[in-house]
Structure 1
Amino acid sequence: MSLEFSYRHLYYFWVVAKEGGMAKAAGRLGMAVQTVSAQVRELERALGQQLLKPAGRGLVLTDAGQAALRQAEQIFALGEQLPAVVRDAVSAPQVRLAVGISDGLSKLVVRQLLEPVMAAPRLRLLCHEDEFDRLLADLALHRLDVVLSDRPAPANRNLKVYSHPVGSSPLAWYAPPALLARASEGFPQNLATLPVLLPTAHAAMRQRLDTWFERRGVHPQVVGEFEDSALLVTFGAAGMGVFPAPVAVHDKLVASDGLQRFADGDGLEEQFYAIATEKKVLHPLVQRLLPQPR
């Protein structure tokens, strides 16, 4: 490939533009001002455009100079990455797993669901949280290897994805210490007078909770609704209200957040799914996420 300009000249121009003048650039490069100036003029001659023009006692970029600077920024940014790219190319290959996390899934259980892959040598785990439908679209386009969700994928002949159950957890009700005494008496009718925190409709569990309330004739005093389950727990631990949570994360809620379990979920369960593009999963790390046959 033949080029009309020298990358060395482009580099000198880039330093001048970054430093804001010939003298400062010469000092950074350890060269004479006249030498740096001559190199920049050579670049201008090769490109056929003036890149710098006098402004007061200094220099400013022309329109052509601004365009050249944008290109130079990209070129030298890539150049700075070169040592790491070469080093990684000769090192042991990484095992990449791109996971979509549905915004309706309890984030406190994500770590447990991913536990089977965490010890994989040279693992590079990429987690993306988004709305369920967007994650399914990314999965279908093979931008993701698997989606973890609290619901199976809907039937859609145009979307070739398969839902694999990976577990479930019963729900229980938790309260901060300040509300524990009130919460322990008269459940579930006391939810009408207690401050209650719930997930939003993004979570599949919300519909089950609403049905559960209706069947028991309970009208909860909802004071907060959260898309992010970890945020819900944070507000609950701060004393804002009582809330349901998967028993799978009981130890974390009690030990780390100082919460207390005051009632069982009375049949409520949160279900977990791994959604992939294959009925018979081929990705070795996604296989680890699925229950193993006995």
Structure 2
Amino acid sequence: MEHLNLRHLHYFWMIARSGSIVRAAESLDLSPQTLSGQLATLEATLGSALFKRANRSLQLTDFGKTVFAYADDIFQSVQSLTDILQQPPEERPLNLSVGIAASIHKLIAYHLTEPALALPRPVHLVCQTGETGQLLKQLGQRELDILLTDRQPDFKDAGQFRATRLASSSISLFATPELGARLRPGFPQSLDRQPFLTTSINAPYINELMNWFATMRIRINVVAEVDDSALIKVFGRQGLGYFAAPTVISDEVCRQYEVECIGSIEEVRETLYAVTRARSSGNAAVTALLKARPELDDSIEKTDL
């Protein structure tokens, strides 16, 4: 970079695109002689010819084609940046990087991010799933703008992060119509020793559910532990067992996975939080996500902690 003159590189790029020093000079409002001299300076700096003459026209050498490929990437990016900078600030695209705890059901994650995507400004959304602790670390390092999770940060992190409770839903149990026909009569005692699909991730609502099973003296027959909430539902659709999901997405779960709700458990709830850095980033997409109520159902609660 100490020796590469980007202005000279831009002149070369314009010549290569137009195929003529004269035409490029007209576009750049320079004389052909000046432009030819700048090209010669660039070739001398790079130590190799960029063009060869053939039938009174300029053609790129093999080396010139390599340089042009890089120059094209550079100046296409510059043009894109220029287009953005020329837009009014309120119309420029927003970048939103969201961390989503793997234990959160993906249908709910979509609803929680939906308000940011409804902004009049374009939003470039990047979602990353993972374990809450690792995602929280990335949030602190500014690799994420916001974290959606089912647990609050530890007290030791209270000064660094702010948690907003977004939603809370009771838990329902689902199964195929065939299995549901067996389990619905006599619910919940009918669940005793029946095949159960559970998440292998330490989700708070699963711990509550297990305690509820114990209180109801229901013996659990876990036939599969899966670390992906969507995959659990796929297994459930195949009749391998019943599974749990938030009541708030009951209709979508039944429609998408062709299962039925066999019962709801009000005593067990999933509570979801949005975690941001304590100092506001000023990102309008983050603000929209925090303030707009998710369009789920009337059982959803929303309060700030």
* TM-score higher than 0.5: yes
CA 1:126–1:7 in structure 2 vs 1: closer, same or farther (change >3 Å)? closer
| In 2, Cα distance between equivalents of 1:6 and 1:117 | 40
Instruction: Report the alpha carbon displacement of residue 262 of structure 1 after superposing the two structures with TM.
Output: 1.0
Alignment match, 2:262: 262
> Is contact 2:115–2:289 with CA below 8 Å preserved after alignment?
no
Instruction: Report the alpha carbon displacement of residue 170 of structure 1 after superposing the two structures with TM.
Output: 0.7
Alignment match, 2:127: 128
> Is contact 2:113–2:289 with CA below 8 Å preserved after alignment?
no
- Paired residue total: 269
CA 1:194–1:51 in structure 2 vs 1: closer, same or farther (change >3 Å)? farther
CA 1:286–1:221 in structure 2 vs 1: closer, same or farther (change >3 Å)? closer
> Is contact 2:175–2:262 with CA below 8 Å preserved after alignment?
yes
CA 1:125–1:285 in structure 2 vs 1: closer, same or farther (change >3 Å)? farther
Alignment of 1:37-56 (within 5 A): 42=40, 45-50=43-48
Alignment match, 2:222: 221
Alignment match, 1:271: 271
CA 1:89–1:251 in structure 2 vs 1: closer, same or farther (change >3 Å)? same
Alignment match, 1:167: 167
Alignment match, 2:103: 104
CA 1:169–1:70 in structure 2 vs 1: closer, same or farther (change >3 Å)? same
| In 2, Cα distance between equivalents of 1:263 and 1:154 | 33
Taking structure 2 as the reference length, the TM-score comes to 0.67
1:201-221 deviations in Å (ceiling 9; x for gaps): 243323333333444351323
Alignment match, 2:54: none
CA 1:251–1:180 in structure 2 vs 1: closer, same or farther (change >3 Å)? same
1:118-147 deviations in Å (ceiling 9; x for gaps): 543325262422221232123223443332
Alignment match, 1:22: none
Any gaps of 5 or more consecutive residues in structure 1?
16-24, 31-37, 53-58
> Is contact 1:100–1:147 with CA below 8 Å preserved after alignment?
yes
CA 1:103–1:265 in structure 2 vs 1: closer, same or farther (change >3 Å)? same
Instruction: Report the alpha carbon displacement of residue 190 of structure 1 after superposing the two structures with TM.
Output: 4.8
> Is contact 2:199–2:227 with CA below 8 Å preserved after alignment?
yes
Instruction: Report the alpha carbon displacement of residue 77 of structure 1 after superposing the two structures with TM.
Output: 4.1
- Structure 1 residue 75 corresponds to structure 2 residue 78: no
Alignment match, 2:201: 201
Amino acid at match of 1:50: S
SS at match of 1:156: helix
Alignment match, 2:298: none
| In 1, Cα distance between equivalents of 2:159 and 2:90 | 37
Alignment match, 2:55: none
Any gaps of 5 or more consecutive residues in structure 2?
24-35, 51-59, 294-301
Taking structure 1 as the reference length, the TM-score comes to 0.69
Instruction: Report the alpha carbon displacement of residue 169 of structure 1 after superposing the two structures with TM.
Output: 0.7
SS at match of 2:47: coil
SS at match of 2:257: coil
RMSD: 4.4
Amino acid at match of 2:47: Q
Instruction: Report the alpha carbon displacement of residue 93 of structure 1 after superposing the two structures with TM.
Output: 3.8
SS at match of 2:155: coil
> Is contact 1:208–1:268 with CA below 8 Å preserved after alignment?
yes
SS at match of 1:153: coil
SS at match of 1:148: strand
Alignment match, 2:12: 9
CA 1:115–1:92 in structure 2 vs 1: closer, same or farther (change >3 Å)? closer
CA 1:162–1:91 in structure 2 vs 1: closer, same or farther (change >3 Å)? closer
Alignment match, 1:34: none
SS at match of 1:50: coil
